[in-house]
Amino acid sequence: MHASQSTTTRREEIRAALSDIAAPSLALVPIGVLFGAVATAEGLSAAETMLMSGFVFAGGAQFAAIEIWADPVPVAAIVFSTLLINLRHVLMSASLAPRTGAFATWQRIVGFHFLADETWALAERRAAAARLTPTYYFTMIALFFPTWLVTISTGAVLGARIGDPQTYGADFAFPALFIALIAALWKGPATGVVVAASAVAAACAAWLFGPPWHVPAGAVAGIAAAALAWRPDPLKERET
């Protein structure tokens, strides 16, 4: 009986994870195709584009690196830009780590390597409603990560034949995806304050200093706003 219940629970976790990650994976398609096409247009081979995507797996940082790609490669500029953009992964990992009590150490290490904005947001939402399990988390990755690689390889092979991505609205894929993630994590007016502070700070930094400074500026402003807007939950205090 216990084994049967365990199997049923695992299947439910898999179904829930696939249901949750399906829409973000679909939204990832135009982004991946676009990146593959842009990367090959900048001189990377399809194999190099795939290796970069497999080892880095950070869409925002990859796009930033491609934007300043040149011959010779400006290594220092690329490292600095991608470091600033990926600093948010430190914050996401710190936020998600307390929810991974069911994970073994190696599962945390491997899982956080594949951490993305989408999987982080869905894992946080899952942890708020139920226990976050390795089955749920790695099922998301099992669909999300291959989707990224397959779509990038498609873009790299098709290259210039894709045409102007704005024609298909692919340039709005990133903003649309993040709007959906914010909506999924919405918890009332306090969330609005955090989002507004982060957006204003990011916009000001982009205007004053240019990318990639808007990413850490938005993150810092969002954290500060969250700290100022936080109020203790009286119901939870009574329970404790």
**What rounded mean pLDDT belongs to the chain?**
79
pTM given for the model: 0.72
| Confidence (pLDDT) at 63 | 80
Helix (H) / strand (E) element for 93: namely: helix 75-96
Is the model more confident about 169 or about 4?
A: 169
Instruction: Work out the percent of the chain whose per-residue pLDDT is above 90.
Output: 23
| N-to-C CA span, the chain | 34
Question: Quick check: 9 pLDDT over 70?
Answer: yes
- Is 45 strand, coil or helix? coil
| Confidence (pLDDT) at 5 | 45
d(CA 84, CA 105): 27
Task: Quick: pLDDT tens for 128-160.
Answer: 888 999 999 999 999 999 999 999 999 888 876
- Contact predicate 20/139, CB 8 Å: no
| Confidence (pLDDT) at 193 | 77
Helices 59-67 + 2-41 axis angle, to 10: 10
| Confidence (pLDDT) at 164 | 58
Q: At 68, is the pLDDT very low, low, confident or very high (cuts 50, 70, 90)? A: confident
Q: At 122, is the pLDDT very low, low, confident or very high (cuts 50, 70, 90)? A: very high
Count of C-beta atoms within a 10 Å radius of residue 35: 22
Question: Quick check: 1 pLDDT over 80?
Answer: no
- Is 23 strand, coil or helix? helix
Among 3-12, 13-22, 63-72, 203-212, whose mean pLDDT is lowest?
A: 3-12
Question: Quick check: 202 pLDDT over 50?
Answer: yes
